[in-house]
Amino acid sequence: MRKKLAVLTAMTLALSMSCIGASADEDLITIGFAQVGHESDWRTASTQSCQDVFTEENGYDLQFVDCDNDSATQLEAVRNFIEQDVDYIIIDPIVSTGWDEVLTECEEAGIPVIIIDRTIDDSDKYAAWVGSNFTTEGLACGEWLKVYAEAKGIEEINALVIEGTTGSSAAIGRTEGFQEIADREGWTILDSQDGDFTQTGGQEIMESYIKSYEGQFNVVICQNDNEAFGAMDAMTAAGISYGVDGDVILVSFDACTAGLEYVQSGDINADFECNPLAAPFVEEVIQQLEAGETPETTIYMEEHWYVNEDIIETITVDGAEQSMTVVTDEIVEAQY
Ligand code: GZL
């Protein structure tokens, strides 16, 4: 091949190179990835995980679309992937409904779909789902708070919840899990509103809560770290203390690096991890499909429950004993 190229004219060489390029491209597995958006540190890590794994060097051509938290944009992105006749489609569904029609179109086009992170409730037309159990995360939060309040001699829980994006399975699961424990323990949830998983959303909701409930609440549950950062700003501005040495217990989800730094400093009492690094598990599914094998349809990722103080070593969630992990420098260093 190299000898043949030496005698070609520049134009023919250019044409040949483009053909070689095309044939090399044809060897790549093309993947269309319709990502929720760019709303949080967690989302950034999730996107990076896919971009790190599905590289040309690894044999992939990743077509990435940031759907900016807009469901219509996400459905359009998936339909465009069908038009492009990609080999696989990865979707992190912004909301859990409205999917069966487009997933039927993917099935009819013979394009396997892999769902990551959030779940889809109205269709099972996909090869596999890789993610977390959000209800378990909410239950763990409630079970930890029960034991923590007892250890601190706190008899009454009056909580405010800053939820994630309405309709997302992450918000639905975390809300349901925590609510189950709150109902069992007779806690009061003063309010529960959508902060859209953003720092701005967390701050705005917390500012509104302070106007309505100042002096009435002793727990704030934020359904992701970026909301917690916003809530911290709002409480600090209002002179409300929070965290291990504060008047308000502050709890978060995701456990991104910045979230764990605030746990380590005592600003956040506990942070319930949601693992964003799904891409290696997705690649395994794709390789199995390439080999004609049938992958597991449900793949849960490992997660940890992080705290500042070592007063509670384990909690029982759904009958299973689970460890609480005190945040150390090494843990922060290694986090996503
Ligand atoms: C949860 C994920 C959520 C994170 C947020 O798996 O979908 O969306 O908790 C992110 O940080 O915005």
User: Given ligand 1 and candidates 130, 197, 302, which is best to mutate, with the most ligand atoms within 8 Å of its CB?
Assistant: 197
How would DSSP label each residue in 293-310?
Answer: ----SEEEPP--EEESS-
Runs of H (alpha helix) within the chain: 2-6, 10-27, 41-53, 71-83, 100-108, 134-152, 169-185, 199-213, 225-237, 257-265, 279-290, 329-334
Q: What is the pLDDT of residue 223?
A: 98
- CA–CA distance, 42 with 47 (Å, rounded to integer): 9
The protein residue whose alpha carbon is closest to atom 1 in ligand 1 is 170
- Rounded distance from Cα 162 to ligand 1 centre (Å): 13
Instruction: List all residues whose CB is within 6 A of at least one atom of ligand 1.
Output: 39-40, 42-43, 117-118, 132, 164, 170, 197, 224, 253-254, 274
The angle that helices 100-108 and 71-83 make with each other, rounded to 10 degrees, is 10
Q: What is the pLDDT of residue 24?
A: 54
Q: What is the pLDDT of residue 22?
A: 46
Q: What is the pLDDT of residue 295?
A: 97
- Rounded distance from Cα 169 to ligand 1 centre (Å): 9
Q: Which structure tokens are listed for 228?
A: 């917690």
Residue closest to 35 by CA, chosen among 132, 121, 114: 114
Residue closest to 167 by CA, chosen among 116, 97, 92, 101: 97
- Rounded distance from Cα 98 to ligand 1 centre (Å): 19
Q: What is the pLDDT of residue 19?
A: 47
- CA–CA distance, 70 with 80 (Å, rounded to integer): 15
Q: Which atom of ligand 1 is nearest to the CA of 274?
A: 6
SS3 label, residue 315: strand
Q: What is the pLDDT of residue 18?
A: 46
Q: Which structure tokens are listed for 175?
A: 């809300």
Q: Which atom of ligand 1 is nearest to the CA of 256?
A: 11
pTM: 0.90
Q: One digit per residue, pLDDT tens: the chain, 336 residues?
A: 334 444 444 455 444 444 444 445 678 999 999 999 999 999 999 999 999 999 999 999 999 999 999 999 999 999 999 999 999 999 999 999 999 999 999 999 999 999 999 999 999 999 999 999 999 999 999 999 999 999 999 999 999 999 999 999 999 999 999 999 999 999 999 999 999 999 999 999 999 999 999 999 999 999 999 999 999 999 999 999 999 999 999 999 999 999 999 999 999 999 999 999 999 999 999 999 999 999 999 999 999 999 999 999 999 999 999 999 999 999 999 998
Q: Which atom of ligand 1 is nearest to the CA of 223?
A: 9
Q: For tokens 């060097």, name the residue.
A: 57
The protein residue whose alpha carbon is closest to atom 2 in ligand 1 is 170
- CA–CA distance, 57 with 42 (Å, rounded to integer): 25
